[in-house]
Structure 1
Amino acid sequence: MKRHATLVALLIALTTSVLADERYVLQYDAPATDNLLVKSKGRSKGLGYIQTALPLGNGRLGAMFSGGIDTEHLLINDITLWMNAKRGMDEVSQSGTRQVTQEDFETVRKTYREGKYGTKPDSMESMSTKYLSSTEPLGNYAPFSDVLISTGHDPASIRDYRRSLDSRTGLGSVSYSIGKGTFSREFFCSHPHDVVVARFTAENATLDLTVTASTKHKMAQVAASGNRITLSGKAEMVQNDVEFMQIVHIDAEDANVAHHPDGTITISGAHDVCIYLAGYSDYLAEYPNFNGRDYRGDCETAISQATRLGYDSLKKSHVDDVSALVNRCSLELDFDTSGLTTDKLVAAGGSLELENLYFHYARYLQLSCSRNAPVPSNLQGLWNADLKPAWNCDYHTDINVQMNYWMVDPANLSESFRPFVEWTKVLAQSGQHTARETFGINQGWSAGLNGNVFGFTAQNVHGRRNQQAGHWLAQNLFDHYAFTQDRGYLEEIYPVLKGAAEFFVEYLAPWKDGTLVVYPTWSPENSYLVKQHGKLNKQAYGASWDQQLVLNLFTDCIEASTLLQRDETFRKTLQEIIPRLCPQKIGQHGQLQEWPEDRDNPKDTHRHISHLIALHPGRDISPLTTKELHDAALVTMRHRGDESTGWSTGWKTCFWSRLHNGDRAHNIYKFLTSKRAYPNLFDFHPPFQIDGNFGGAAGVCEMLMQSHLRSVNADAETIEQAAFVAYKNSPNDPKTFAPVVPNESLANAPYIVHLLPALPTAWPNGRVRGLRARGGFEVDMQWKDGKLNSAKIRTNKGGVFRLYAENRLSGNITLEKGQTYSWPEQVQR
C-alpha cells in the first residue's frame, strides 16, 4: 500500500471540491464536544457528543465522528440493535397484546359513553389502563460500540483546524497542522459494501495511533489479533438476548502494527492508515422470532471484501452511490455565502444560507438513516449513544415515525421508504393478534402508540395514550404509491391497507347522534376540560384526527381495490360506511373542532395539532377547494402559535404551506433552522429528535410545490370546480361538514400539480430541481422576483396531470414515457 505520493494531490482535490460547493457542506473550526469519558450513564444533556459530532450512515449501519485532536471518537450504531424487550415468543404473545374478554372491553367503552372523565378508578383512563394496556416491555434502541483512535497530539499545538461533512458525497473530513506536519482524516459509511471506513494520513510527519473498541453493554468481549480487533457482545433482553459482533481491520503497511492483550492495536511511524469496520446483530425481521442472521459470517465477509477492494475503490463506489441519489434534487436560493462555520451560522440567527443547507442536510440524513434496512428510522434516526435514550428512541406512531417519511417522495429519495414498508408489514402481521385479543375483532390489524423492532402492537401502558395508529401508517403507504405509480408496490401493500380498513369497519361504533366514531381514542397528546378534570384527562371518543384518517384510509382502499380490480363487495362496504362517519365541525371560536363536542380552548398552545391532519399530511382541506374548513384551520393555527418543539415546528411549516401562507411558513422554517437546531443541525428536542429535520425539509417541498389535489372534472376551468372534495357542508348545519363517498372514477383522476403555492417573499429568486409530484412526475422550476419564470415537468412512466400555476388551471396534459412539458406551454421529447 503506497499512497503517500498521491496524498497532496488528493488533499488539494478534496479541498477544491469542498470550497466550490460549500453551500452543501457542514464545516467547523473545532472538534465536537466529546463527553464519553466524563459521562457514561444516562442521557447526555446540553451540547455533548450527539449534538456536535457529525453523522454518517448507510441506512442500517451508522457512525458519528468527533474530529477530536488527541482522540478521534467513532460512535457506531446498528438500526436493528435493541434491548430490554422480548423476542421469540409465540405469535400472540410476541405482539405484546393484553388478552381481553368482550365483557371487559364493553366495560371500558361504557365508561366513555357515560363520560367518566379524569383519572379516578372508574374513569376512562383508569379503565383503559386496567383492561386494555399491555404489561409487556417495549424495550429501547441501543448503542452498538465506541471506537477510539488516539493520536497523542496536543490540542494546544495545532493550527488551521477544519472539520466538515459534505452532504453531496457523505464524506466527512478533519485536517490540521502541527509544526511542518499536516494531518488529515476522511470518513464514510458505505452502502454498496456495508462498512464504515476511516483514513488517517500525515504529510511531513508520521502517525502514532492507538485503536480501541468498546461497548456500553455489560456482556461483551474484546480481543486483538494481528491487525484486527474483534468485539462480541450481547444486548440484554428480558427474553432472548440480541447478539452482535464487530470487526475493526487496520491497514498500515508502511508502519509498525502491534496488538495487545487488552484488545488494543498500536500503529507507529505511519503515513497512511486505513481502518475498516463491519458490525451486525443477529436480528432478522421475521415474526415472531426476530433472530437468525449469520452476523459473524456477515462481519467476516464484509471485512474481507472491503480489505480486498481497498480504500480508493470503496470511496469511489460510496461517492458514486451517494451523489447519484443526492444530486437528483437540489435547491438553490439566491444568497452570497458568508464564510461562517455551521455552528456560527446557526448562532447568527438564521439566513438563506442556513435554510438552503438545512434542506440538503435533511436529504442526506434521510438517505443515511433509512435505506434497505429491515426497520425504519427511529426517533433519533440511526444515531444513539445511550443505553437509556429519551423516549426509548422508539417508534412513536402518533406522528413521529410518519413524519420521518413525509419528505422522502417529494424530495426524490423514494428508496428510503422501503424500511417503513417492511416494518409496517410486520406490524400488520402482529397487529392481527392485538385486534383479536384486545378488541375482539377478527378481521384486520391494530397498532398502538409505541413500536419496536420486535412487532410490538399492543396498547401503551397508560390508558390516556394513543389507541390506534393503523390508519396513519396506512396513509404513508398509499401516498408512496401516489408518487411512484408502481402497480407492483400497490399489490404488495394492498393487504396491509385492507387489513387496516377491516379493523376500523368493525371497531367504529355509534355515538350519541348515531354517527360512527373511533373509541377508545385520544387526540395526541392533548387534554381537554383541564380545569374540571386535570391535565391527564386525555381519553376521548370520535377525535377529529381519527375520523379524518379513517375517511382517508377508506378512500385509499376504494381507490386501490378499483385499480387492482378486486374486493368489490368490501369496496361497497366502505362506501356505505363513509356517510355514517362523524362529520367535521366548526366550533364556537371559528376553529376546527378537535373533538365532537366543542371543547377547544383558544388559549391552548399544545404542540400537537392532530385535528388538522386533513390539511397535512392529508389532502382534504385546502384554501382552493374548502373555504370554510380552510378558514377554521386558520383559526386553529393562530390559537396554537408558531413556536414549539422541533418536530412541531416542522409540522407547522407544512401546515402554513398548505394554507398558502409562504411568509408564515418561512418564518417558522427560519425559527426551526436557527432556534431549533444544534451545532451539527440535528433537531433541537433534548437530547435530539430527527423528525424535526425531516418535517422542516418536507415543509420546504410544500412551499415550492403541492400535488395532493385531484381533478375529477376534466372540463372544469377552475380548480374549485375541478378538484375532488372529501367534505361537504351539511344542509342542516352550516358548521358541520359530512364525509363524501368517492366515486370509483377517482382512481384514475389526474393529480393537479401546483407550482410555487407558498413561495415566501424572503426567497424572491431561486431554482429547484428534481422535486417529485404525485402521479409519477418530476419537476424543475426557476423563479425571479417572486414569480415563476420557467418549469419543466417530466415522467419516466407516462401519465396525465393538470398544472396550476400563476392562478391558472390547465387542461389535462398527457405525457408519454420520457416526454417533458415546459412552462410556458410546450411538450418536448
Structure 2
Amino acid sequence: MSIGKFVATLGILLAFVTLAVADERYVLRYDAPANDNFEKSSKGKPKGLGFIQTALPLGNGRLGAMFSGGIDTEHLLINDITLWMNAKRGQDAVAQSGTRVVAPADFETVRKTYREGKFGTKPGSMESVSTKYLSSTEPLGNYAPFSDLLISTGHDRASIRDYHRSLDSRTGLGTVSYSVGNGTFTREFFCSYPHDVVVARFTADDATLNLTIQTTTKHQVAHVKAAGNRITLSGKAKMVQDDVEFMQIVQVDAGDAEISPQADGSIKISGASDVKIYLAGYCDYLPVYPSFKGRDYQVDCEKAISAAAEIGFGALKQSHVADVSSHMNRCRLKLDFEPSRLTTDKLVSSDGSLELENLYFNYSRYLQLSCSRGAPVPSNLQGIWNADLKPAWNCDYHTDINVQMNFWMVDPANLSESFGPFAKWTKIVAESGAHTARETFGVDKGWSMGLNGNVFGFTAQNVHGRRNQQAGHWLCQNLFDHYAFNKDRAYLEEIYPILKGAAEFFVEYLAPWKDGTLVVYPTWSPENTYLTKQHGKLNKQAYGASWDQQLVLNLFTDCIEASTVLGCDESFRRTLQGMIPKLCPQKIGQYGQLQEWPEDWDNPKDTHRHISHLIALHPGRDISPLTTKELYQAALVTMKHRGDESTGWSTGWKTCFWSRLHDGDRAHNIYRFLTSQRAYPNLFDFHPPFQIDGNFGGAAGVCEMLLQSHLRSVNVDAKTIEGAAFVAYQIDPKEPTHFVPVVPDESLADAPYILHLLPALPSVWPSGKINGLKAGAVLKSTSSGKTRRWFGLPFGRHETVNFVFMLAVN
C-alpha cells in the first residue's frame, strides 16, 4: 500500500472513531422549528418562508423525506424520485417519445426560414414556424409529492424550552430536542440507503409520549387503514394515460405502550417512553420503454417494512451512519475559522463567512448523496424534495444546463456512485430520442433530445418555438467526463452506443451555412435573445450558436477517443475527423468578447444569467489561460459584461467560470454571494421555490478552485503546459479573430490528465485542508511509456488527492 493510500485509509478510520463528536463543518443547527402549515401564525398562515425552505432534508437517492421539527405536530414530507403525474405512459414507441411527426418538406420549410433570417415572433418568423411544425403538444407532466406523515405530540409551543433542531450531514442524522416541565423529549430521523426506509424515533426522559400518527397524500386515496401497529396507504397519481399506483406502510414499535388503531386510519399511542417508526413506500414505475410500469410495489413495500422492523432501530441506524459517513468522509473541506456558534439561519443572514462557505460545500455533498444514488432516474430541479402537485418548472429535467449541473461535482467531490442514475436515464433518453430524431428531424441514425425531460422518455421539442434545441451533445459530455475520472472500460462500453448515437445525429443534422461551414440549426443560445431593439425580447431562435458548436466538437472528440480505446468503429472515427475542420469556428467580436452567435450580435450591456457560449471553458476543457490565450482573454471580456450577481444556479456556474479563469478572488466573491444571498435558511438554493442545481454548481466551483484536471498532456517531452497540452482550437491563418477546431488523433486516448493544484485559491482562504478530491485519471502512454508529471503526481483510477494549502498574505 502506498503512503498516500495509507494516510487516506487511516483518516477514514479515525473519522469513524470520532463520529460521535459533532463537527461544526457538517452540522446545520436551528433554535426553532421549520415554518409549516401545521405550525400556523395567529392569522392562520405560515410565518416567513415555507416548509420547503426551512425543513431539513433526508434521502437515499430514491426515497426522500423532510422533517419540520414541529412541536405540536412533526411533519415529514415523503418523496419517491420516480413518482410523476399528468403525463402519458404505455403508448407505442413513437408516441411515447412525445415527438411531433414532421414531413420532410415541412422541416425544410423551417430551415429555409432560418436561412432567410426571418427574425422576431410574427407569423412566418423562425420562432412561429418552429412552433407550428416542430413543437410537441404532448403533455410533459410533473414530478409529484408522495405523502405526508404527521405525528401529533399534544405539546404547546409556549410551554417548551431549550429547543434544538439539527442535521448532521456527515452522518445523515436529523435530531430535535426540547424540554417541557421536568421532561426532555428527543427525536431522531434518517433515510436508510442500505434498507430503503425512512426511520424516526421519539423518546422521552422523565415524561411520557402520547402520540397520534397519521399519513395523508395529495393524490387520490384508494385505501388507508390502521390495523395493529401498521398504517397502510394505497393511492394513485393521476396521469393523462395510465395512472401511477403506489403504496406506503408505516409500522410502529412503542414497546409496552398502548397502541390504538383508529377508524380514520391513524394510530394513537399512550404512555410511551420510546417510539420507533418505520416507513416504506414504492410506486409501480419501472424504467422500461415505453411501458414504464411493472414494479411489484406492494411486495417490495411489504418486504422493506418487515425487514426494517425485524432488524430494529439500533442496527438500522448503525448501518445508515456507516454508509453515509463512509461517503462523506472521503472528501472533506476544512477551512480555518473560529466557530461562531450561530444557528445556520443566522449564518445565512450574516452576509457571509468562512464558516458558512465550509458548511455549504460539505452540505452540498450530502445533498448529492441523498438525492441521486441507486435510483433509475437522476435528481431533478429540486433534487428529490417536492411538496407541490404543481411545482415550478414541473420540477423536471431541464437539459439546457440544470440536469447537467446537478452532476458536475459528483466525480471531483468523490461521489462517483451518485452518477449512476444519470447514466440510466440517458439510456432511456437515447432510446426514445431515436424516434424524435427520425420523425421530427428526418435523421435516420442516432438520437435527439429537446429542452425538457421527464421519467417517461419525453424527448420532443418544447411547446415554444424559441425553446427548440438539441441537448444530446451536452448530456454526453457528462457521460464521458464520468469515464475520464474513473477510466472504467466496462462503463465506457456501456455508454459508447449513446455517445455514438448522439454523434450520428449531428453528422446528419449539421448543415452548411452561408460561408460553407457546418452549423447546428434550428437552435438557440439558452435562454438568451439578440437584436432585441429590432425584433423584440423573444427573438431567440438562431443558427450556429457557439455553445452548440463547442459541444459538437467536444462530442466528436470524445467519440474518437472512446472508439480508439474500445478498438471499434474506425470508419466512423474517420468520418468525425473529416467533419471537425468543417465546423463553424469560434469568433472574437467587436468588443473583444467571445461571440455568442456566428454573427456579431453580442450586447456588452447584456447581463443574461445563461453564459452558454463559454461552455468550452466550463464544464468543457477547450478554453484555458494556460493554452488558448486569445480565447481566454475573450472569455474574460464576456464574463465582465455579464456581471457577478444572478440566480443561484447561474452564480454557481460563474464560480466555476472564474475558477477556470484562475481568478480565485473573483470566484470566491461569487461563491460568497451564493452562500449568503442565494441560500434559504436550510441552505437550499434560492430560486423560488428553490432549485438544487445552485448547491451543486457552487460545490463544483469549490472543487475547481482547489484542483483542476481537465487538460490533457499529448507531448510528454514538452517543457511547458502550453507545449504539452492538447489544444482544441487554433487561429485561422486567414482570419486572426476566428478559431477553427482541431482534429484529434488516436494518441489522445493515451494522454494523461494534467493535475493543477490550487489553480484559483482565494486570498481569504489563507490556510486549510482538503481531503479526497478526485482528479481525471492518468494513464501511461503506450507509445512512449512515459508520463509527464505536471503540478503533482500522476493518479490512477479511483485514487484521490489530499493536501494542505497555505497562502502567504501580505
User: What TM-score does the superposition give when structure 2 sets the normalisation length?
Assistant: 0.94
Q: How many residues align?
A: 782
Q: 1:776 to 1:358 in 2, by over 3 A?
A: farther
Is 2:297 aligned against 1:295?
yes
2:243 to 204, 222, 241: 241
Once the two structures are TM-superposed, the CA of residue 816 in structure 1 deviates from its matched residue by 10
Once the two structures are TM-superposed, the CA of residue 21 in structure 1 deviates from its matched residue by 1.0
State the alpha-carbon separation in 1 of the partners of residues 106 and 118 from structure 2.
Answer: 16
Give the 5 Å matches for 1:529-548.
Answer: 529-548=531-550
State the alpha-carbon separation in 1 of the partners of residues 680 and 448 from structure 2.
Answer: 36
8 A contact 1:775–1:800 mirrored in 2: no
2:339 to 337, 352, 356: 337
8 A contact 2:778–2:796 mirrored in 1: no
Determine helix, strand or coil for the equivalent of 2:467.
coil
Q: Which residue of 1 aligns with 2:3?
A: none
Q: Which residue of 2 aligns with 1:218?
A: 220
Q: Which residue of 2 aligns with 1:312?
A: 314
Q: Which residue of 2 aligns with 1:63?
A: 65
Determine helix, strand or coil for the equivalent of 1:230.
strand
In the alignment, residue 51 of structure 1 is paired with which amino acid?
Q
Give the 5 Å matches for 1:267-666.
Answer: 267-666=269-668
8 A contact 1:775–1:801 mirrored in 2: no
Once the two structures are TM-superposed, the CA of residue 625 in structure 1 deviates from its matched residue by 0.4
Once the two structures are TM-superposed, the CA of residue 23 in structure 1 deviates from its matched residue by 1.9
Once the two structures are TM-superposed, the CA of residue 219 in structure 1 deviates from its matched residue by 4.0
State the alpha-carbon separation in 2 of the partners of residues 59 and 75 from structure 1.
Answer: 15
Q: 1:236 to 1:351 in 2, by over 3 A?
A: same
Once the two structures are TM-superposed, the CA of residue 48 in structure 1 deviates from its matched residue by 0.3
Once the two structures are TM-superposed, the CA of residue 220 in structure 1 deviates from its matched residue by 3.8
In the alignment, residue 348 of structure 2 is paired with which amino acid?
V
2:37 to 32, 35, 38: 35
State the alpha-carbon separation in 1 of the partners of residues 737 and 798 from structure 2.
Answer: 46
Give the 5 Å matches for 1:625-774.
Answer: 625-774=627-776
State the alpha-carbon separation in 2 of the partners of residues 95 and 208 from structure 1.
Answer: 51
In the alignment, residue 227 of structure 1 is paired with which amino acid?
N
2:164 to 153, 156, 162: 162
Q: Which residue of 2 aligns with 1:9?
A: none
Q: 1:141 to 1:45 in 2, by over 3 A?
A: farther
Determine helix, strand or coil for the equivalent of 1:22.
coil
8 A contact 2:35–2:46 mirrored in 1: no
Q: 1:487 to 1:749 in 2, by over 3 A?
A: same
Cα RMSD, aligned residues only: 2.0
Give the 5 Å matches for 1:40-55.
Answer: 47-55=49-57
**Cα deviation code 1:267-326 (max 9, x no counterpart):** 010000000000000000000000000000000000000000000010001001111111
State the alpha-carbon separation in 2 of the partners of residues 337 and 312 from structure 1.
Answer: 31
Once the two structures are TM-superposed, the CA of residue 804 in structure 1 deviates from its matched residue by 3.7
8 A contact 1:586–1:593 mirrored in 2: yes
State the alpha-carbon separation in 2 of the partners of residues 816 and 274 from structure 1.
Answer: 42
Query: What runs of 5+ residues in structure 2 fail to find an aligned partner?
Result: 1-15, 806-810
In the alignment, residue 582 of structure 1 is paired with which amino acid?
C
8 A contact 1:800–1:814 mirrored in 2: no
Once the two structures are TM-superposed, the CA of residue 230 in structure 1 deviates from its matched residue by 0.8
**Cα deviation code 1:772-806 (max 9, x no counterpart):** 000169xxxxxxxxxxxxxxxx9xxxx9864443x
Once the two structures are TM-superposed, the CA of residue 466 in structure 1 deviates from its matched residue by 3.7
User: What TM-score does the superposition give when structure 1 sets the normalisation length?
Assistant: 0.92
Determine helix, strand or coil for the equivalent of 2:114.
helix
> Which region of structure 1 is more displaced relative to structure 2, 342-351 or 212-221?
212-221
Is 2:204 aligned against 1:205?
no
Determine helix, strand or coil for the equivalent of 2:465.
coil
State the alpha-carbon separation in 1 of the partners of residues 794 and 276 from structure 2.
Answer: 54
Determine helix, strand or coil for the equivalent of 1:212.
strand
**Cα deviation code 1:718-765 (max 9, x no counterpart):** 001000000000001110000000011001011100000000001010
8 A contact 2:35–2:47 mirrored in 1: no
State the alpha-carbon separation in 1 of the partners of residues 285 and 571 from structure 2.
Answer: 40
**Cα deviation code 1:3-38 (max 9, x no counterpart):** xxxxxxxxxxx9x96764122100000000002587
8 A contact 1:94–1:288 mirrored in 2: yes
Once the two structures are TM-superposed, the CA of residue 690 in structure 1 deviates from its matched residue by 0.1
Determine helix, strand or coil for the equivalent of 1:186.
strand
Determine helix, strand or coil for the equivalent of 1:577.
helix
8 A contact 1:98–1:437 mirrored in 2: yes
State the alpha-carbon separation in 2 of the partners of residues 349 and 221 from structure 1.
Answer: 49
8 A contact 1:575–1:741 mirrored in 2: yes
State the alpha-carbon separation in 2 of the partners of residues 36 and 255 from structure 1.
Answer: 26
Determine helix, strand or coil for the equivalent of 1:736.
strand
**Cα deviation code 1:579-605 (max 9, x no counterpart):** 000000000000000000000000000
Q: 1:705 to 1:44 in 2, by over 3 A?
A: farther
Q: 1:166 to 1:474 in 2, by over 3 A?
A: same
Q: 1:761 to 1:37 in 2, by over 3 A?
A: closer
8 A contact 2:486–2:797 mirrored in 1: no
In the alignment, residue 736 of structure 1 is paired with which amino acid?
H
Determine helix, strand or coil for the equivalent of 2:638.
helix
**Cα deviation code 1:688-729 (max 9, x no counterpart):** 000000000000000000000001111001001000000000
8 A contact 1:753–1:802 mirrored in 2: no
Once the two structures are TM-superposed, the CA of residue 44 in structure 1 deviates from its matched residue by 9.9
State the alpha-carbon separation in 1 of the partners of residues 365 and 183 from structure 2.
Answer: 36
Q: Which residue of 2 aligns with 1:7?
A: none
Q: 1:430 to 1:636 in 2, by over 3 A?
A: same
In the alignment, residue 253 of structure 1 is paired with which amino acid?
G
Determine helix, strand or coil for the equivalent of 1:200.
strand
Once the two structures are TM-superposed, the CA of residue 221 in structure 1 deviates from its matched residue by 2.8
**Cα deviation code 1:486-538 (max 9, x no counterpart):** 00000000000000000000000000000000000000000000011111000
Once the two structures are TM-superposed, the CA of residue 819 in structure 1 deviates from its matched residue by 11
The percent of aligned pairs where both chains have the same amino acid is: 78
Q: 1:112 to 1:701 in 2, by over 3 A?
A: same
In the alignment, residue 725 of structure 2 is paired with which amino acid?
A
Once the two structures are TM-superposed, the CA of residue 467 in structure 1 deviates from its matched residue by 1.4
State the alpha-carbon separation in 1 of the partners of residues 184 and 619 from structure 2.
Answer: 50
Q: 1:238 to 1:817 in 2, by over 3 A?
A: closer
Q: Which residue of 1 aligns with 2:112?
A: 110
State the alpha-carbon separation in 2 of the partners of residues 104 and 37 from structure 1.
Answer: 57
Q: Which residue of 2 aligns with 1:11?
A: none
